[in-house]
């Protein structure tokens, strides 16, 4: 049985993510090697509409670098299009994430870091910014850009799955399975959930008992027994599930004994990261996710 994550262990992946994103902002590296896309002849003519259509197609394929280049070409011909400018920014951030979170050596270094090492790394980055700027850096702008990057990171499946424990994922999968079968009269058996998603039954038993204690699910005894949601899927959010499994996140405070511009900006960033994560998880309901599973043919749904 996995130990229950502490507030520090829950914050570590977000600290690591913010560390990466600050590096992205300060180095402005948005180009790297990704599989090269051979452009259709219609796109090579540089027709703006074709460029935009191809850019959107590449986004759906998550070919972020190629999409970024296409949007930049289109923006040269439509310099007043703020929507294209926004897509340039978004695809550039996605490209940074794709490079860093698909680099096995980089991921290994993140996984080996302790929360104090992550905080020290962030402090070093901020110190370099302060040292190499001729004028006082706009810390609020840097923090805001970091949060914008983090919001995109929280929508990236690769990043999300790296920062979610197996126990949390199993709980979300079990709850979503119950949501999909909520309209059926019979309860869902643990064995059926385990078989459908390849989850060990012993973990599901512990997780569902925990969710039952929290009032999110009900159990029905007997040979035809099983589990069902205690309320409508639309009334249960991912935040509800994750707080049961991971516990409530504690408010962060600075470990530094002296307050400074650096410590204040970092602390504000921690709080904003926590608020952003909470708001996103609170906005996603089991009903929303269950509706989305209808468009997927795969038997397993990944949160």
Q: How many Å apart are CA 34 and CA 181, to the nearest integer?
A: 41
Lowest mean pLDDT among 64-68, 153-157, 188-192, 239-243: 153-157
Taking Cα atoms as reference points, which of 218, 241, 240, 239 lies closest to residue 172?
241
- Listed ranges 47-56, 123-132, 186-195, 245-254; the one with the highest mean pLDDT: 186-195
Task: Quote the pLDDT of residue 272.
Answer: 80
What pLDDT, on the 0 to 100 scale, is given for residue 219? 93
pLDDT of residue 37: 47
For residue 268, the model assigns a pLDDT of: 80
Phi and psi, residue 125, nearest 5°: -60, -45
For 166-236+285-295, CATH number out of 3.30.413.10, 1.10.10.10, 3.30.70.3270, 3.40.50.300 equals 1.10.10.10
Q: Is the pLDDT of residue 215 over 80?
A: yes
Mean pLDDT of 51-77: 86
Predicted confidence (pLDDT) at residue 135 exceeds the cutoff of 90? no
| pLDDT range class, residue 202, cuts 50, 70, 90 | confident
pLDDT at 156 over 70: no
More confident residue, 58 or 12: 58
Summarize the confidence of residues 241-270 as an average pLDDT. Answer: 74
pLDDT tens by residue, 86-123? 889 888 888 887 787 777 776 666 655 555 666 677 77
Phi/psi region, residue 261 (left: phi>0; alpha: psi -120 to 50; beta: rest), is alpha
Find the DSSP H helices in the chain.
7-27, 41-44, 48-60, 64-77, 82-100, 104-112, 115-132, 139-153, 157-162, 166-180, 190-197, 201-213, 238-246, 261-282, 286-292
Evaluate whether 161 touches 155 at the Cβ level (below 8 Å): no
- pLDDT for 45 equals 44
User: How much is the pLDDT for 123?
Assistant: 74
Return the percentage of the chain with pLDDT > 90, whole number: 24
Confidence at residue 112, expressed as pLDDT on a 0 to 100 scale: 57
- Output the CA torsion 176→181→182→188 (10° steps): -90
Domain residue spans of the chain: 166-236+285-295
pLDDT tens track for 187-198: 999 999 999 999
Angle between helices 48-60 and 82-100 (to 10 degrees): 40
Closest by alpha carbon to 137, among 146, 128, 124? 128
How far apart CA 101 and CA 153 sit, in angstroms, is 10
Q: What does the pLDDT average to over 30-57?
A: 59
């Amino acid at each position: 049985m996995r130990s229950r994550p502490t507030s520090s262990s829950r914050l570590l992946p977000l600290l690591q993510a913010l560390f990466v994103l600050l590096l992205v902002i300060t180095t402005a590296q948005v180009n790297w090697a990704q599989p090269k896309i051979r452009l259709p002849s219609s796109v090579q003519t540089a027709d703006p509409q074709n460029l935009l259509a191809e850019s959107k197609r590449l986004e759906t394929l998550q070919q972020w670098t190629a999409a970024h280049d296409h949007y930049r070409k289109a923006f040269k011909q439509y310099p007043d299009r703020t929507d294209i400018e926004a897509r340039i920014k978004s695809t550039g951030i996605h490209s940074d994430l794709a490079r860093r979170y698909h680099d096995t050596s980089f991921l290994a270094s993140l996984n080996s870091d302790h929360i104090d090492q992550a905080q020290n790394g962030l402090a070093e980055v901020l110190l370099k910014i302060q040292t190499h700027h001729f004028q006082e850096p706009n810390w609020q702008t840097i923090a805001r850009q970091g949060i914008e990057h983090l919001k995109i990171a929280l929508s990236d499946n690769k990043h999300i799955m790296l920062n979610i424990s197996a126990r949390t994922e199993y709980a979300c999968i079990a709850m979503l399975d119950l949501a999909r079968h909520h309209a059926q009269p019979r309860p869902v058996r643990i064995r059926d959930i385990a078989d459908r998603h390849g989850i060990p039954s012993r973990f599901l038993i512990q997780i569902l008992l925990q969710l039952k204690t929290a009032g999110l699910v009900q159990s029905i005894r007997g040979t035809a027994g099983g589990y069902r949601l205690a309320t409508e899927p639309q009334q249960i959010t991912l935040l509800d599930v994750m707080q049961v499994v991971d516990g409530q996140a504690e408010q962060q405070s600075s470990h530094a004994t002296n307050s400074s511009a650096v410590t204040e900006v970092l602390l504000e960033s921690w709080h904003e990261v926590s608020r952003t994560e909470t708001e996103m998880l609170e906005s996603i309901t089991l009903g929303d996710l269950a509706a989305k599973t209808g468009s997927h043919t795969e038997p397993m749904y990944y949160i």
